[in-house]
Amino acid sequence: MESEWIIELEEVDVTHPEEGEMMLVLAVQWRIARGDFWVVGGPPGSGKSSLLATAAGLNRPGGGVLRILGHDLSEATEADQIQWRQRIGFMFEQGGRLFPQLTVAQNMGLALQYHTTLTEDEILKQVEDWLARVGLSMHANTSPARLNQLWQQRVGLARALMMPKEVLFVDNPPGGRTRDAAWWRNQLASLAAEGMTVIVGSNDFSLWLDTAKQFALVQDGHFTVIGGPEQVRAGTEAAWREYIMVD
């Protein structure tokens, strides 16, 4: 039986993905329950993205215990990790890290082609449905390089969700008072309403005050849970207000 915590970090040290010895965030205590909606903020370069990648099992922690879907990462084989990753979606920042040699549709269909026995027509149907959902139906056969970064991120979201997921990590979606930011808020709110656990890395807390359940902060190498939207609104004098947007 799986625990109520879908992801647990106990005293986890988050390292730099390229320079493994460099510690970014120390002794993270973080428990993510099923159906949670978290927003994690922090100054640029604080290790927010690395923390999200570590919690998703993409970066090896520098220390501590990381349990993903009830399994200890340190005891997991590569095959186990590949299995879990199929249940966890990750939308990367800055263009979603699409594969430039594949078209938009091929990017989206890759996981289905790799993991399932669906026919090409069935995969194409699902890709078309998702393209319609993210508003990019006209760009199925376009190279990702020809899309702007905002649209690339939408394709990144669709690619992450092509297979059924339990958890979705979204790193740095568009913020501010823009149509794109509102689109992302609505999409993630609807996914959370469907029962998905959502973790967003963003410095724009104001966008998520009506949607997210929990807010946390990465600052000076430490991870701090602020609490719910009320605590965020109440923290008018807090130091993190310098770089976190809260209207």
Q: Which residues contact 199 (CB under 8 A, 6 or more apart)?
A: 32, 36, 37, 38, 39, 40, 52, 55, 167, 168, 169, 170
Q: Which of 3, 10, 17, 206 touches other proteins (CB under 8 A)? A: 17
Strands (E), 147-232: 167-171, 197-201, 214-219, 222-227
Regarding 137 and contact with other proteins (CB under 8 A), the answer is no
Residue 141 near residue 131, CB atoms below 8 Å: no
Q: Is 204 helix (H, G, I), strand (E, B) or coil?
A: strand
Regarding 97 and contact with other proteins (CB under 8 A), the answer is yes
Q: Which of 6, 160, 196, 218 touches other proteins (CB under 8 A)? A: 160
Range in contact with other proteins (rule: CB under 8 A) among 21-29, 88-96, 200-208, 220-228: 88-96
Which secondary structure element, helix H or strand E, spans residue 89, and what is its range? Answer: strand 88-91
Closest to other proteins by CB, 105 vs 111, is 111
Q: Which of 53, 69, 104, 127 touches other proteins (CB under 8 A)? A: 53
Range in contact with other proteins (rule: CB under 8 A) among 39-47, 85-93, 202-210, 230-238: 85-93
Q: Which of 2, 29, 115, 137 touches other proteins (CB under 8 A)? A: 115
Q: If you search the block for the tokens 């605590």, which residue do you land on? A: 231
Taking CA atoms, 200 is separated from 55, 110, 131, in Å, by 12, 24, 22
Q: Which of 6, 12, 25, 56 touches other proteins (CB under 8 A)? A: 56
Regarding 146 and contact with other proteins (CB under 8 A), the answer is no
Q: Which of 48, 139, 154, 159 touches other proteins (CB under 8 A)? A: 159
Q: Which of 1, 77, 114, 210 touches other proteins (CB under 8 A)? A: 114
Closest to other proteins by CB, 88 vs 244, is 88
Dihedral sign for Cα atoms in the order 97, 34, 27, 245: positive
